[in-house]
Chains A and B, each alone.
Chain A
Amino acid sequence: EVQMLESGGGLEQPGGSLRLSCAASGFILSNYAMNWVRQAPGKGLEWVSGFSVGGANTNYADSVKGRFTISRDNSKNTLYLQMNSLRVEDTAVYYCARGSGISHWGQGTLVTVSS
């Protein structure tokens, strides 16, 4: 069974950093395009970052470019999102999602940026 479990969310001050993890099971993460998608409270879905199929290329939304870094550890079958220089507007539930035409979602982890 395909499962993805996010962790690492929490409360952080503006300007701070957090690292989100997405532990995958039931499939080999490196064989798929992988994404981070977020949803601010009461708002719609926003694609944040992703690896293309094969994992050679990383891509970012303009809103996080230069501040967030996507990576993965194939030995741990885990996807990461390093978030630096956090802003209040980064407050959201962050989901990891498998595939370009997304087929599976994690349950999400809440990131709150507030002083």
Chain B
Amino acid sequence: DIQMTQSPSSLSASVGDTVTITCRASHGIDKSLAWFQQKPGKAPKSLIYLASNLQSGVPSKFSGSGSGIDFTLTISSLQPEDFATYYCQQYSNYPYTFGQGTKLEIK
């Protein structure tokens, strides 16, 4: 199985900041990577697919990059509604696997 490792596990930032979350795959996955945002008690929301493509309706403050093993999610100009937990997921090979999550908190 492909293991997905996110870093950091938690992150404190201020409104207006730009933050970057990384995701590393244990084997190459080309660009078969997605990013999700989840708020407490809610279903996840899809942000990015194929490593860098925004899902419909997702603002351009979210951006993704990477290929192969290393990937990043960057969120610019943080607003209060952006503080949530973020997950990466590989869909190159079954079983699909998620990272452990990165909790983004307000400083």
Interface positions of A from 34 to 81, Cβ below 8 Å from B: 35, 37, 44-47, 50, 52, 59-62
B95 and A62 contact, CB distance less than 8 A: yes
User: Which of A50, A61, A105 meets B44, CB within 8 Å?
Assistant: A105
B50 touches A101 (CB 8 A): yes
Residues of A within 8 A of B (CB): 35, 37, 44-47, 50, 52, 59-62, 95, 99-108
Complex CA gap A52/B28 in Å reads 20
Is the pair B101, A44 in contact by a Cβ cutoff of 8 Å? yes
Looking at the complex, which one of A45, A60, A101, A104 makes contact with B91 (CB distance below 8 Å)?
Answer: A101
Report which of A59, A99, A101, A108 forms a contact with B95, defined as CB distance below 8 A.
A59
Chain B residues, CB < 8 A from A46: 98
Query: Cβ of B55 < 8 Å from any Cβ of A?
Result: yes
The answer to whether residues A101 and B36 also contact, given A59-B95, A62-B95 and a CB cut-off of 8 A, is no
A12 to B89, CA, bound (A): 30
- Additional pairs, 8, CB under 8 Å, beyond known A99-B49, A101-B50, A105-B45: A44-B99, A45-B36, A45-B44, A45-B89, A45-B98, A45-B101, A59-B95, A106-B43
| Interface residue from A35, A62, A95 paired with B96 (Cβ < 8 Å) | A35
Determine if B32 is an interface residue (Cβ-Cβ < 8 Å): yes
Please pick, from A47, A95, A101, the residue contacting B43 in the complex, using a CB distance under 8 A. A95
Roughly how many angstroms separate A60 CA and B1 CA in the complex, as a whole number? 12
B94 touches A59 (CB 8 A): yes
In the complex, the chain B residue whose C-beta lies closest to that of A52 is B94
- The CA of A31 and the CA of B14, in the complex, are separated in Å by 42
Query: CA–CA, A16 to B87, complex, Å?
Result: 31
Question: A47 CA to B89 CA in the complex, in Å?
Answer: 9
User: Quick one: CB contact mask for B10-47 with A, threshold 8 Å, 1 for yes?
Assistant: 00000000000000000000001010101000011110
- Given the known interface contacts A44-B87, A45-B36, the answer about A102 and B46 at a Cβ–Cβ threshold of 8 Å is yes
Interfacial chain A residues near B32, Cβ < 8 Å: 100-101
- Residues facing A in B59-107 (CB within 8 A) are 87, 89, 91, 94-101
